[in-house]
Structure 1
């Protein structure tokens, strides 16, 4: 869990930082251009303040959008991590050691819930709400878990028809590239 949180912080910082640099640079460039146009009488002085006000409003809107996107990612990230709880993690760790364990009905349902969680993560990645580096880390974990014989068997059963495959929002197609 700690590693996932470090990925969250690193990704949010990198994305926010680069977007803020671009928006700050653009804001400064446009503001200076307007002031220079006004100075060289290409823009009437009466229009200077309304134009600058429009740029300030637009700039604040861009910063608000960045903040909203970061908050959405943070909320999705936390929700997904909360759903991937210790019970599921403990089951996967046990199955890695005991590859002949017969699963209970509840354990099978838990693994199917994991597939649903993974497909929701992929859906949000495909919509551009989950950064690529986070998705790569999650996909790596999914592929590793699919190496567990019991998990692989359930996965193959869950995705054996096209209709069932489609219920996972494109995740199966994405994973087939790696399997």
Structure 2
């Protein structure tokens, strides 16, 4: 792969994976490729490939349904909370397995600590060290992300009939 870039990896929800595996999609994509190939007859292989890729993109785009995800113009704070939660999961490895081990209220207690600018190291729910308050918005974003983790934990328990 000299001189080529690595392909981008996309996060996709389970329903997207299911949709990509549908036989109907394969038929639609095959028809789009065949149509593009016929329309570009006599062109170079590269031109035909680009035309086919464009048709495939159009088929996929036509099947997309916009999600109700936050946009920075709608709620910059909500977008920051989502980014912080992803940071916690991906960089700090605070995933569902980690969070499910916090059964004594540690997640919401930490959220309360971050949300209260008057809290001190005496209020921190862990024995091992404690963080420092910083930028007020950043502290509130951390608090909201921790509450999100706690809500996710509770939803997992509820789905198992344990809450």
Higher relative contact order structure (alpha carbons within 8 Å, sequence separation ≥ 6):
1
Pairwise same-fold verdict (TM > 0.5): no
TM score, norm. by length of structure 2 = 0.31
